[in-house]
Structure 1
Amino acid sequence: MAMTASSNLDNSRTGEAFTTVKKCLVLFGVIGVVVLGTVAATAFAGQQTTPFMWIRAVIFPALAPLFLRMTARAEAGSYEAFGRLRTISTVMPIAVIGVDLIPGICPPWYAALQGLSALAVLPVAFLTRSGALKAAFPKR
Structure 2
Amino acid sequence: METNKHTTEAALLNSTRAQEAFDMVKNTVKVYGALGAVALLAVIAVSTSGHTVNTFMWVRAALLPAVAVLIHRMAVSASRGSRRAFERVSALAVIMPIAIIGVDLIPGICPPWYAVTQAVCMLPIIRVAFIIRGSALRAAFLKSR
Q: TM-score, normalised by structure 1?
A: 0.95
- Residue number in structure 1 paired with 2:50: 46
CA distance in structure 2 between the partners assigned to 1:90 and 1:17 by the alignment:
17
CA distance in structure 2 between the partners assigned to 1:102 and 1:120 by the alignment:
22
CA offsets 1:33-60 (integer angstroms, 9 cap, x no match):
0011010011100001000000000000
Matches within 5 A, 1:1-140: 5-140=9-144
RMSD: 1.0
CA offsets 1:70-112 (integer angstroms, 9 cap, x no match):
0010000000000000000011011111111111110111101
Q: Read off the aligned partner of 1:122 and give its amino acid letter.
A: I
Q: TM-score, normalised by structure 2?
A: 0.91
In the alignment of these two chains, the number of paired residues is 137
Gap runs ≥5 in structure 1: none
Gap runs ≥5 in structure 2: 1-5
In the TM superposition, residue 6 of structure 1 has moved relative to its aligned partner by 3.0
CA distance in structure 2 between the partners assigned to 1:23 and 1:123 by the alignment:
11
- Give SS of 2:110's match: coil
CA distance in structure 1 between the partners assigned to 2:109 and 2:101 by the alignment:
12
